[in-house]
Homo-oligomer: A and B are copies of this chain.
Amino acid sequence: MLSASDDLFRALADPTRRALFERLCQDGEQTVAALTARAGVSQPAVSKHLAALKAAGLVSDRPEGRQTHYSARPQALAPLIDWTGRMAGFWEARFDALEDLLNRMDQ
């Protein structure tokens, strides 16, 4: 059962990758060089992380001359938001059921 959002969860699991995505969300489009300058890892490492983010749909790239501009695609977070919502939803549902039960016991 390989969900499509599997890539999403896995992509966000790495702190370096999350930091890259955060920067793109905050500051908008950036070149690889700009991202590398603050990433704390080598340029090839950054490129690989960006490839992973792209595979998960979290970023898109815009080649222009010899540089590549990357930008965030926060829409890609939707499955994650859905999932957390479902989990919280299940929780509420079970909580409501308990409340119901307690109410009935009260009578």
Q: Is A3 an interface residue (CB 8 A)?
A: yes
| Stretch from A21-29, A30-38, A44-52, A99-107 that touches the partner | A21-29
Provide the bound-state CA to CA distance between A80 and B9, in Å.
11
Q: A72, A81, A90 — which one has the most chain B CB atoms within 10 A of its CB?
A: A90
Q: How far is the CB of A45 from chain B (nearest CB, A)?
A: 16
Q: Is A15 an interface residue (CB 8 A)?
A: yes
Is the Cβ of A15 less than 8 Å from the Cβ of B28?
A: no
Known contacts A72-B91, A87-B74; is A12 also within 8 Å of B15 by CB? no
Provide the bound-state CA to CA distance between A87 and B59, in Å.
13
Q: Is A62 an interface residue (CB 8 A)?
A: no
Residue of B nearest to A17 (CB): B9
Task: Give A contacts to B, CB under 8 Å.
Answer: 1-3, 6, 9-10, 12-13, 15, 18, 21-22, 25-26, 28, 72, 74, 77, 80-81, 84, 86-88, 90-91, 94
